[in-house]
Amino acid sequence: MGKLNARGAIYYKVSPSAVKKAAKSAALCVRAAKKAAKSAALYVRAAKKAAKSAAFYMTNEGEGLN
């Protein structure tokens, strides 16, 4: 399958075009992951704000409802 070098990493015999394709797809995945991370961070912030306001309402106004 692949050659084992002195460092212990396995090198597989792959054509340069396949390597380029893999690198491109990996780069696209990284970009998508970055975008997803940004949007996730925004959602987390919004959720924290919502949780804070919900906790505020629960403690101040909703004590008699429970």
Q: Where are the domains of the chain?
A: 36-66
- 1 has pLDDT over 60: no
pTM for the whole structure: 0.40
* Token pair recorded at residue 50: 């919502």
Q: Is 10 helix (H, G, I), strand (E, B) or coil?
A: strand
- What's the rounded Cα separation, in Å, for the pair 5 and 1? 13
Of 32, 14, 11, which Cα lies nearest the Cα of 22? 14
Q: Which residues pair with 11 in a beta bridge?
A: 3
| pLDDT tens digits along 25-58 | 888 888 888 888 888 888 888 888 888 888 877 7
